């Protein structure tokens, strides 16, 4: 059971890191181009809204949704989240998409704000507050969803709460991202975002398959140990896709060059 809690902690930490990096990029743009007061105020509003949403919906999930139904729904959603991230990571590793896109997002937002004529100032800017609020709220909802669902599934053991463990993982991710961002004062270009997406995608897809199977009544061989087999399965499939797509991309390049 301790190993299961450790896996939940790592999964929550990695998944939250990905979301916090994306949210921090937008918050950084608002802070640099508008002002930090607007950016941080929008972020604070989003945190308050998230706290209220988690307090209400988290309690409702635990009290009123049957555990089998919850496992099935959560499993399906996590598989979808995981496959979405795996798709992006596989395409990047195969060379079909830029490996790092945080810098591109930063420059795109910066150009958009400048085109609007937004200039740095000291007063609260409605556009800056709203943009920061929306980005933090949307990314934070994904973090809250992952923390709640992982925590519920982990349950409690020897005084340890699964939700507390998942929350600690997310909190550590927040400290790491904010700390790194404060130090470098720039988009988190050096964070291996694609590696995080790939690892988290594997973990979410594996956990989602495991919980979805339990939701429909499957008894996995070896119980929690079967998660390792699911991780290996998704790693094998993803690796095969990366190699095949990379080979196909290389095969097309000479042909395209000859046509040009």
- The verdict on residue 260 lying in a domain is no
pLDDT at 117: 63
Q: Cα–Cα distance between 226 and 206 in angstroms, integer?
A: 10
Name which of 4-18, 78-92, 100-114, 210-224 the model is least confident about: 100-114
Q: Which residues contact 219 (CB under 8 A, 6 or more apart)?
A: none
3-state SS assignment for residue 92: helix
Q: What number is the average pLDDT over the span 65-73?
A: 71
pLDDT at 237: 93
What total of structural domains would you count in the chain? 1
- The verdict on residue 133 lying in a domain is yes
Q: Is 180 exposed, middle or buried (0-12, 13-18, 19+ CB in 10 A)?
A: middle
Q: Are 73 and 216 in contact (CB under 8 A)?
A: no
Q: Is 156 exposed, middle or buried (0-12, 13-18, 19+ CB in 10 A)?
A: middle
- The verdict on residue 113 lying in a domain is yes
pLDDT at 259: 45
- The verdict on residue 211 lying in a domain is yes
Rg (CA), the chain: 20
Please name the helix (run of DSSP H) or strand (run of DSSP E) that holds residue 160, with its range, or none.
Answer: strand 160-161
Name which of 124-128, 146-150, 190-194 the model is least confident about: 190-194
3-state DSSP: the chain helix, strand, coil percent, rounded to 5? 80, 0, 15
**Residues 161-175 pLDDT 10s:** 777 888 888 889 889
- Return the DSSP state at 225: G
Q: Cα–Cα distance between 179 and 191 in angstroms, integer?
A: 13
- More confident position, 103 or 27: 27
- The verdict on residue 149 lying in a domain is yes
Please name the helix (run of DSSP H) or strand (run of DSSP E) that holds residue 157, with its range, or none.
Answer: strand 156-157
Q: Are 114 and 33 in contact (CB under 8 A)?
A: yes
- The verdict on residue 256 lying in a domain is no
Domain with 203, as residue range(s), is 2-250
pTM: 0.57
């Amino acid at each position: 059971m301790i190993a299961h809690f450790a896996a939940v902690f790592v999964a929550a930490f990695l998944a939250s890191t990905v979301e916090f990096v994306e949210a921090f990029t937008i918050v950084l743009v608002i802070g640099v181009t508008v002002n930090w007061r607007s950016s941080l105020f929008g972020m604070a509003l989003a945190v308050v809204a998230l706290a209220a949403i988690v307090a209400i919906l988290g309690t409702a999930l635990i009290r009123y949704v049957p555990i089998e139904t919850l496992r099935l729904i959560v499993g399906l959603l996590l598989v979808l989240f995981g496959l979405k991230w795996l798709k992006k990571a596989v395409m990047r590793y195969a060379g079909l998409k830029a490996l790092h896109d945080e810098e591109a997002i930063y420059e795109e937002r910066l150009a958009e704000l400048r085109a609007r004529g937004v200039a740095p100032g000291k007063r609260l800017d409605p556009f800056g507050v709203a943009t920061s609020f929306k980005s933090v709220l949307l990314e934070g909802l994904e973090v809250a969803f992952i923390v709640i669902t992982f925590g519920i599934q982990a349950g409690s053991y020897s005084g340890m709460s699964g939700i507390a463990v998942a929350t600690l993982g997310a909190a550590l991710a927040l400290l790491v991202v904010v700390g790194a961002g404060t130090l470098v004062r720039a988009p988190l270009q050096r964070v291996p975002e694609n590696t995080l997406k790939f690892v988290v995608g594997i973990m979410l897809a594996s956990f989602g398959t495991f919980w979805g199977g339990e939701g429909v009544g499957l008894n996995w061989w070896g119980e929690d140990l079967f998660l390792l087999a699911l991780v290996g399965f998704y790693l094998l499939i993803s690796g095969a896709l990366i190699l095949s797509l990379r080979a196909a991309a290389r095969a097309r390049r000479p042909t395209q060059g000859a046509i040009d």
